Amino acid sequence: MKKIMFIGLFCLLMLPASAFGHKLIPTDGTNIDYESALEIPDPVISWAMYEELQDKPLFYKFEAKKGDRLYASIVIPKLAPLESFTPSLVLIGPETFLELITELRTLDYNTEFNFPLPDGHTAYVFDYNGSIPSKEFYEPFGQVTYWERQEIDLKIEAPGKYYMAVFDKNGTSGKLAVAIGYVEDFSGNDFVTVLPNAWLESRYFSEDYSQLFIMVGVLLGIFGLIGFGIYRKIKRK
């Protein structure tokens, strides 16, 4: 019985934390304006959002302190229809906030964000200008291959409320994963709560259902063995 329980626990621990080492924040695609923007609890902690971009931008919001490092990126699941999908990443913050950031001198950006902005804010748009197909990377825990797109990595000099958005200038729809933060932060409880859910989400997101069926079969087998062991113990009594 102990061996069976150990195997079950081992299977749970082998489930992924989330895409590329980030905690997954569930989203339902309703974060389409500043009011409904998905809140990032702490932009320093690593978070990821699985999204399906339609005809409207998707928004996120967070509070940043002076001196915070801000890292954010977009990756695309390696699905044939998405090979040339290149959505833009937008950083929206207090007016003149980017004039204080020295890293911008080496980043490729523009201000072509043709959507209303909150009072006292300005927007900078980061497009993907690399090759297609872009560089790939394989995320071993989620067992998903992604195409890399643009990323930003800078130091915040102006504290306050920030927004981030993703949109496509050509109106193209498609799946993408948005990542923010760089510090991985998982507690013991995450291994039996956050991780299994993130693994399931990654299966649906990447449209890879074969491993989902395998895992369900393994879990059913484990519970079946546990039930059989309990039955034998009761029968012996």
> Domain map of the chain by residue range?
1-17+186-237, 19-184
pTM given for the model: 0.75
Which residue, chain included where needed, has tokens 């699905």?
A: 79
**Residue 14, Cβ density class (10 Å: 0-12 exposed, 13-18 middle, ≥19 buried):** exposed
Mean pLDDT of all residues belonging to the chain: 79
9 vs 184, higher pLDDT: 184
Instruction: Give the H/E segment covering residue 215.
Output: helix 210-236
Using pLDDT thresholds of 50, 70 and 90, give the confidence band for residue 217: low
Query: By mean pLDDT, which of 27-31, 54-58, 70-74, 216-220 is the weakest?
Result: 216-220
Q: pLDDT-based confidence at 95, cuts 50/70/90?
A: confident
Which tokens belong to 124? 């900078």
Predicted local distance difference test score (pLDDT) of residue 15: 43
Say which residue, 210 or 158, is predicted with more confidence. 158
Query: In the CATH scheme, what is the code of domain 19-184?
Result: 2.60.120.380
In terms of pLDDT, which residue wins out, 187 or 225?
Answer: 225
